[in-house]
Structure 1
Amino acid sequence: MTSHVVLGLGGCVDYELKLSSPILEQLIGEYQIHDAELTSSVTVTDERELVISILTYLKKGGGGEHFVASSECLNAFAGRFPKRTTLGGTSVRAAMEMSRLGVPSTLHLVSLNDIVRRLLPASCDYICSGDQDTLYPHLIVQYDQGMRVRAGDIDIRAPFPNRLIYVNDPANESMLLSDELGSLLRDARVFLISGFNAIRDQPTLDRRLSALRSHMRQLPAEAVVYYEDAGFHEPGLSQRVRDALLEVIDVYGLNEDEMQSHLGYPVDLLSVTEVARALESLQALIPVATLVVHTKYWSAAFGERAGEYAEPLNEGIVIASTRYCHGDEYTNHHYELMQNRPRRTESVEFAAALEGRMGGVVRCLPGFDLDVAAPTTIGLGDAFVGGFLAAVSRGRS
């Protein structure tokens, strides 16, 4: 098996659901939840804490990812809403978007089952480190801008649409690497690293990082290695991944939530002064050749080679925006129409001003002007990665 594009390292089955106010308001009453309890929590152990976590994010319009101690809690909550069964994980969703663009890939999976076999596009090959079928669904919760929840002393309205991820997945938590990975990388032009955020045990993480570095020795020198950040289930382990991998990463990607989490303070995404400072501070924390930050307003590459990534940035924006408007059902026609839509005026002005201020070390492309009543907020970052890497694999960087 050979592949020019190798995407890893995990993947999963997702239960996608959209929140509704009446059910949340009923749960607030049943569990006697109060506004003072709506504060951030790293872990969730039962359904009451799950509802509190969701309400906390909804209140600020944020997105995030969390470990949940009980799979029964996830199943119970999912059973309260209509849901769709889809495939998830950054690498898997990126592969599916790349398939739409005519770019085949090979996935490294840690969990396999009949749902994965049925839903993966024919152009996606895979290897799997698991020796038997397993199924650990992730709960993906989506909400719309303006969603209002009123019960007891709680009265909140979501300022933005977003998505939340809740996980209890032993296969991804272990992230066992296949012995075949190294040989698969010999012919790779592009290699995506994602999924380490699910590991919660430091010795396990260290072993996997060491094994990955060993496999990566077989990568061709010209291969582009892209690392996509994510919400770590144990935030303290994020630095260990960076320490182990930064010297072998070409592009380090993250969204606005992850950027602000690393910095430890909020950033006005349309303030040139604040974003310029944020990018410089982020590069000090994550000294990689090229940083890529993708947000709802713009996407930017930052580093000495930033100018080489203009077309991948644009492809990522187009694909993510098409998904935002049309979800999994988008067509080539939707994709083509998106390329000609107008860009957000404030984003156009921001991008020009940021490049004017920072010079050639930054390339910033504005997002599209999108007004959608019921947008898809699930998988937008993964779609961006798929579009970005499709352009890189075609030599458009």
Structure 2
Amino acid sequence: MADASRVLLGLGGCVDYELKLTAEVLEQLVAEYGIVAAELTSPATVTSERDLVVSILGYVARGGGGEHFVASAPALSAFADRFPHRQTLGGTSVRAGILMSRLGVPSTLHLVSVNDTFRRLLPAGTEYINSGAGDTFYPHLIVQYDKGLRVRASNVDMIAPFPNRLIYVNDPANSAMLLTDDLGDRLGRADVFLISGFNAMRDEAELDERLAALQQHMRRLPAGAVTYFEDAAYHEPAFSRRVREALLDEIDVYGLNEDELQSYLGRPVDLLSAEDVAAALTAVHAFIPVPTLVLHTKYWALALGAGDYADALDTGTVMAATRYCHGDDFTDEDVERLRRLPRRPESVAFASALRSRLGETVDCVPGFALDVQNPTTVGLGDTFVGGFLAELALKGHR
């Protein structure tokens, strides 16, 4: 496949400020702001740097990942400036597209904002369309932390049980999520369409307008095209249902991660218990009744429903694991070396047990046994999506 028009990835992208948390800075902030352990639940709104620190510490304590709107853009900049950080490109569609290009699958990105930094970081030759009227710059704060990060200050004493990443955003362009007028014409030539980014919207009337417009554009998709929807943490949680109800009839594959799964269920899920996961899948599939539900986690990735997606799951898993180990700077040799690594024994056992319970309605690919000193936790889901879609595009598979 050499035609970028055949894969359209939307609906928005951004510049990220990526940083890694350190105990020293966090302990300084706990002392500076007088934060105590009893406060470490997610604030209803993040309106200051203090709120931001409280939110981050709440996630670190349980090893969780998430995404939030931040009412104060200066709070994002102030926090980022306390750490060494780098500028990268972000957004599910953008990271997926960059990975797909590495795998020989060109694509067209639908963007809502560009600027000199974005253009400088975008790989040469990448095709994109932009709904924004002019250059805008609203960087997202991407916070990584390692397993074992310990924070001790005041009466706060915590150790991160897992590595993870957090996303904090104040981005009017992605909140507006304008669509290009020619999106329908472009979808008329597409074999693969990725929908992501509606989680950033915050105005109900604007959301309904964008969903109605997207429905009109999607009527131009050819028969046999695959529409993949990637879920995310909604800045306005009530909007998640509105988006699903508007688009469910148009979605072929619906992807989500373990954080989103557990959020929908309102309970933790034992990801290595075939019984618990089978019950969770049944419950989630009941209110997300799509042809295929894809769930990607730190232990495994699975597809429930119609179609044979085992190869796509495997490519997504391999590429996400490669990013976890090597970040952006991986080689083809790194990928092949990783493919030969053993899978996690507990994940292999889980996949077998789940297949025994659910039969041929499920494909489950175990994750790899990885021991990495400084893993990359940012963009793993986006990379999985890129690998999954690349496999579909290369095989012309539905």
Please indicate the TM-score interval, normalised by the length of the shorter structure. over 0.9
Question: What's the secondary structure of 1:115's corresponding residue?
Answer: helix
Shift of 1:332: 1.0
Q: Which segments of 5 or more consecutive residues in structure 1 lack a partner in the other structure?
A: none
CA contact (8 A) 2:20 2:144 kept: yes
Counting only pairs closer than 5 Å after superposition, residues 330-349 of structure 1 correspond to structure 2 as 330-349=330-349
Shift of 1:251: 0.2
Letter in 2 for 1:358: L
Shift of 1:124: 2.2
Counting only pairs closer than 5 Å after superposition, residues 219-234 of structure 1 correspond to structure 2 as 219-234=221-236
CA contact (8 A) 1:290 1:304 kept: yes
Letter in 1 for 2:194: L
Q: Tell me, in whole angstroms, the C-alpha distance in 2 between the residues paired with 1:396 and 1:291.
A: 19
Shift of 1:2: 6.1
Q: Tell me, in whole angstroms, the C-alpha distance in 2 between the residues paired with 1:347 and 1:396.
A: 29
Shift of 1:396: 6.4
CA contact (8 A) 1:226 1:252 kept: yes
Shift of 1:221: 1.1
Question: What's the secondary structure of 2:327's corresponding residue?
Answer: helix
The corresponding residue for 1:299 is 301
CA offsets 1:350-371 (integer angstroms, 9 cap, x no match): 0011011110111101000000
Q: Tell me, in whole angstroms, the C-alpha distance in 1 between the residues paired with 2:395 and 2:115.
A: 34
CA offsets 1:80-129 (integer angstroms, 9 cap, x no match): 00001000000000001101101100000000111111111234200000
- Which of 145, 148, 164 is the matching residue for 1:146? 148
- Which of 211, 214, 217 is the matching residue for 1:212? 214
- Which of 146, 168, 171 is the matching residue for 2:170? 168
Shift of 1:339: 1.1
CA contact (8 A) 1:199 1:205 kept: yes
Question: What's the secondary structure of 2:142's corresponding residue?
Answer: strand
CA contact (8 A) 1:99 1:121 kept: no
The corresponding residue for 2:59 is 57
The corresponding residue for 2:73 is 71
CA contact (8 A) 2:4 2:106 kept: no
CA contact (8 A) 1:16 1:85 kept: yes
- Which of 280, 284, 287 is the matching residue for 2:286? 284
The corresponding residue for 1:46 is 48
Q: Tell me, in whole angstroms, the C-alpha distance in 2 between the residues paired with 1:132 and 1:304.
A: 42
Measured at CA, do residues 22 and 2 of structure 1 come closer, stay the same or move farther in structure 2, by a change above 3 Å?
closer
CA contact (8 A) 1:140 1:166 kept: yes
Shift of 1:4: 0.7
Letter in 2 for 1:246: L
Q: Tell me, in whole angstroms, the C-alpha distance in 1 between the residues paired with 2:364 and 2:45.
A: 35
Q: Tell me, in whole angstroms, the C-alpha distance in 2 between the residues paired with 1:333 and 1:2.
A: 26
Q: Tell me, in whole angstroms, the C-alpha distance in 2 between the residues paired with 1:40 and 1:65.
A: 11
Q: Tell me, in whole angstroms, the C-alpha distance in 2 between the residues paired with 1:42 and 1:96.
A: 34
Question: What's the secondary structure of 2:212's corresponding residue?
Answer: helix
Q: Tell me, in whole angstroms, the C-alpha distance in 2 between the residues paired with 1:365 and 1:385.
A: 14
Cα RMSD after superposing both structures: 1.0
Shift of 1:336: 1.2
Counting only pairs closer than 5 Å after superposition, residues 227-376 of structure 1 correspond to structure 2 as 227-305=229-307, 308-376=308-376
Q: Tell me, in whole angstroms, the C-alpha distance in 2 between the residues paired with 1:314 and 1:345.
A: 16
The corresponding residue for 2:386 is 386
Q: Tell me, in whole angstroms, the C-alpha distance in 2 between the residues paired with 1:42 and 1:394.
A: 44
What TM-score do the two structures reach when normalised by structure 1? 0.98
CA contact (8 A) 1:2 1:187 kept: no
Shift of 1:11: 0.3
Letter in 2 for 1:209: L
The corresponding residue for 1:159 is 161
Size of the aligned set, in residue pairs, is: 395
Q: Which segments of 5 or more consecutive residues in structure 2 lack a partner in the other structure?
A: none
Shift of 1:43: 2.4
CA contact (8 A) 2:4 2:107 kept: no
CA offsets 1:316-375 (integer angstroms, 9 cap, x no match): 000000000000111111111111111000000100110111101111010000000110
CA contact (8 A) 1:105 1:123 kept: no
Letter in 1 for 2:390: A
Letter in 2 for 1:310: A
CA offsets 1:291-320 (integer angstroms, 9 cap, x no match): 000000000000132xx1000000000000
Q: Tell me, in whole angstroms, the C-alpha distance in 2 between the residues paired with 1:123 and 1:221.
A: 29
The corresponding residue for 1:184 is 186
CA contact (8 A) 1:344 1:368 kept: yes
Letter in 1 for 2:254: Y
CA offsets 1:41-75 (integer angstroms, 9 cap, x no match): 34200000000000000000000000000110000
Q: Tell me, in whole angstroms, the C-alpha distance in 1 between the residues paired with 2:361 and 2:4.
A: 35
The corresponding residue for 1:6 is 8
CA offsets 1:170-228 (integer angstroms, 9 cap, x no match): 00000000102111111111000000000011101000000001111111011000000
CA contact (8 A) 1:8 1:107 kept: yes
Structure 2 residue 34 is the aligned partner of structure 1 residue 32: yes
Q: Tell me, in whole angstroms, the C-alpha distance in 1 between the residues paired with 2:103 and 2:14.
A: 22
Question: What's the secondary structure of 2:303's corresponding residue?
Answer: strand
Q: Tell me, in whole angstroms, the C-alpha distance in 2 between the residues paired with 1:43 and 1:182.
A: 36
Q: Tell me, in whole angstroms, the C-alpha distance in 1 between the residues paired with 2:357 and 2:218.
A: 37
What TM-score do the two structures reach when normalised by structure 2? 0.98
The corresponding residue for 2:117 is 115
Letter in 2 for 1:290: T
